Amino acid sequence: MSALAVSPAYTALLVKFPPRVIKSEEQNESYIEALHSLEQRYGSWSPEETELADLFTLLIEDFEEKHYTLPKCSPLEMIEFFMDQNGLKQKDLVDVFGTPSIVSEVMSGKRELNKEQIRWLSERFHVSPELFF
């Protein structure tokens, strides 16, 4: 066991935010809120807070992977969804695709995404690159 796992600061965090396998939507929401409260201080985290944030992230991801399945969508449908959610228009994607004509070709389904475009889209929208395959 590492020194971090038994440090008094980490123990105090575990008492305040006891980690458990998430089994309900209510528990999931409470862990999301706890993680959000930690994120308010991101950049000034102690090593113990970093460890706890990593643990909460794993617990939340585990619950959500088991309980929320995304419908299968084409890469184009994913782009359209993220554009809609972020209030973007095709012209806002020129930085990604290079030219308005390439944006148009991608959005019309005439051109597939390349690796660099997929990387940029996944970083821009904070999602897995797998969504664009």
Residue 94 · residue 103 · CB < 8 Å: yes
pTM over 0.75, yes/no: no
| Residues whose CB is less than 8 angstroms from the CB of residue 4 and which lie 6 or more positions away in sequence, other chains included | 10, 47, 48, 51
**3.40.190.90, 1.10.1040.10, 1.10.260.40, 3.30.1490.20: which CATH number matches 75-132?**
1.10.260.40
For residue 81, give the nearest of 121, 21, 42 by alpha carbon. Answer: 121
| Residues whose CB is less than 8 angstroms from the CB of residue 10 and which lie 6 or more positions away in sequence, other chains included | 4, 48, 51, 52
pLDDT digits (tens, 9 = 90+) for 101-126: 999 999 999 999 999 999 999 998 98
pLDDT digits (tens, 9 = 90+) for 4-33: 546 888 888 888 888 899 999 999 999 999
How many residues are listed for the chain in this entry?
A: 133
